[in-house]
Amino acid sequence: MTAVTMTAGTPESGSQSEAGPRTLFDKLWDAHVVVERPSGDALIWIDRHFVHEGSFHAFAQVAGRDGVVAEPGLTFGIADHYVPTRGRDHIANPEIARMIDDLEANTARHEVTLFGLNDPRQGIVHVVGPEQGLTLPGLTMVCGDSHTSTHGAFGAYAFGIGASEVAHVLMTQTLWQKKPRRMRITIDGTPAPGVGAKDFILSIIARIGADGARGYAVEYAGEAVRALSMAGRMTMCNMSIEAGARCGLIAPDETTFRWIAGKPYAPKGAALEAAIAAWRHLPSDTGAVVDREITIDASQIAPIVTWGTSPEDALPIGASVPDPAALADDARAAAMRDALAYMGLRSGQKLSEIAVDRVFIGSCTNARIEDLRAAASVLAGRKARVPGLVSPGSSQVKRQAEEEGLDRIFIAAGLEWVESGCSMCVGMNGDSVPPGERCASTTNRNFRGRQGPGARTHLMSPAMVAAAAVTGHLTDVRSMLEGRS
């Protein structure tokens, strides 16, 4: 199991930062405070705001106050949550059609740029923001979606908000925030082949719990994090919310700067050089103090899968379904029995013997081009034993994957290749897992009913989902990587 050390910090020490060495988070916070109240909360300026079809509640609040959007130039609309992944020419569900129409009308009325249903830039907001160069180091970014934490991978302070806060940002471009405490999770060492960002973050959540980072801004550091691609970094920051964190963060470095260069909305030429010079000051200062510190050895992490109905219910693929009888706490034992009953599993069953009914590769967690390549490298020349859906993270990722021939690998394996959207991650756009069926999924939440009423979800990396597709059961992908890149 993972070697972990923890240091508990003082719970109330999150507020002092101006004096002395500062963390990345302190610097982000300090640069955005408009006013501070004696009570300790601050009004902070928001640099980027993304809205989607679900933001209609917030636009209704704005309309109810005869409000206007304060900064249309900092606000971007994206159709992702409800968009169908097939048959986009005619949307059969009138409620979904209305939501997409509402987003068009609301963004048009307030002169907000929209990446709509048929825009070549359309995709999942947390994939599109970075690929359009809207996500940059040093920014504050919000969206009415909890996985906004994704953008922290660039060294931005990015977090999800509810509809009332969306309305607040639309009307004022600011938000009241209490400064979170700071946690640093350092992952040193080199992971085994076949082990990556999804395994890192699932093992962290399993260790600290689904509320283990509640009230914290979590910075991921260490050589294993530095070695990750931007896609891997986004996967880690994306799932920070599944540990309850306010946000996830990774200090910007050369990997970040290289990634940003040339993106449509990013600074260019001399402006980019000046921006990079400023961004180089963002990483935490030597000696900066955090409130809680965790260290993990990457070489000890195995591919991880979830077995229950919370992302904290995660174990290495070599393990077995846990036994509630082994728990001392009655309430927790009862909760585990409920979870196992919902999941249709029995204690002691080997995780690698759990048969799946279908697979899903998609979502803001794991549908970037790197994720699709990882899955395709396992599937190439092989057949899936179960049906499955592949929904790329954006329309741009879809085009790139098709240029690389990845779509043909998925289709040849027997999987369905569809348009981009939140798709089967959230079960509200037409793609869902039928009741009682078991799905190996690259998504972020194995909550009851998340992928559809009665759906049973096992979270894992794209390579692990591909392995499950080929064997028809949860499988250690490392046994299938021989001779493959």
Partner 1 sequence: MKSLTQVKGPACPLGLAGVDTDQLIPARFMKRPRSEGYGGFLLHDLRRGEAGVEKPDFPLNRPVWRGAEIMVARRNFGSGSSREAAVYALADHGVRVVLAPTFGDIFASNAVKNGLLPAVLDEADIEDLLAALAATPDLPVSIDLAEQTVAWGNRAVTFAIDPVWREQLLNGWDDIDVTRSFAGEIARFRDADGARRPWARPSVKA
Which residues sit opposite 297 in a β-bridge?
Answer: 188
Q: Which stretch binds partner 1 (CB under 8 A): 231-239, 285-293, 425-433, 465-473?
A: 425-433
Rg of the Cα trace of the chain? 22
Place of tokens 């929209």: 114
Residues between 65 and 84 with contacts to partner 1, criterion CB under 8 A: 65, 73-74, 82
- Token pair listed for 144: 């009415």
Residues between 333 and 392 with contacts to partner 1, criterion CB under 8 A: 335
**How far, in Å, CA of 176 to CA of 169, rounded?**
10
Residues between 400 and 419 with contacts to partner 1, criterion CB under 8 A: none
Query: In this chain, which of 86, 109, 178, 280 binds partner 1, going by CB under 8 A?
Result: 178
Write the single-letter amino acid at 339. A
Q: Shortest gap between Cβ of 359 and partner 1 (angstroms)?
A: 21
Nearer to partner 1, 3 or 60 (CB): 60
Reported as half-sphere exposure (CB side, CA atoms, 13 A), residue 235 has a value of 28
Counting contacts by CB under 8 A, is residue 45 touching partner 1?
A: yes
Query: In this chain, which of 104, 116, 186, 265 binds partner 1, going by CB under 8 A?
Result: 265
Q: Shortest gap between Cβ of 320 and partner 1 (angstroms)?
A: 22
Query: In this chain, which of 1, 3, 60, 261 binds partner 1, going by CB under 8 A?
Result: 60
Counting contacts by CB under 8 A, is residue 241 touching partner 1?
A: yes
**How far, in Å, CA of 6 to CA of 226, rounded?**
21
CB atoms within 10 A of CB 237: 30
**How far, in Å, CA of 23 to CA of 39, rounded?**
22
Q: At residue 67, what are phi and psi to the nearest 5 degrees? A: -85, 165
Question: How far, in whole angstroms, is CA 432 from its chain's centroid?
Answer: 19
Nearer to partner 1, 23 or 174 (CB): 174
**How far, in Å, CA of 268 to CA of 193, rounded?**
36
Query: In this chain, which of 244, 252, 362, 392 binds partner 1, going by CB under 8 A?
Result: 244
Counting contacts by CB under 8 A, is residue 139 touching partner 1?
A: yes
Of 395, 330, 375, nearest in space to 481 by CA: 375
H-state helical runs in 178-319: 197-208, 223-226, 230-238, 254-260, 269-279
Query: In this chain, which of 26, 80, 145, 419 binds partner 1, going by CB under 8 A?
Result: 145
Q: Shortest gap between Cβ of 435 and partner 1 (angstroms)?
A: 8
Q: Shortest gap between Cβ of 79 and partner 1 (angstroms)?
A: 14
**How far, in Å, CA of 122 to CA of 118, rounded?**
7
Query: In this chain, which of 21, 87, 193, 264 binds partner 1, going by CB under 8 A?
Result: 264
Nearer to partner 1, 207 or 450 (CB): 450
Counting contacts by CB under 8 A, is residue 164 touching partner 1?
A: yes
Residues between 435 and 454 with contacts to partner 1, criterion CB under 8 A: 435, 445, 447-450, 453-454
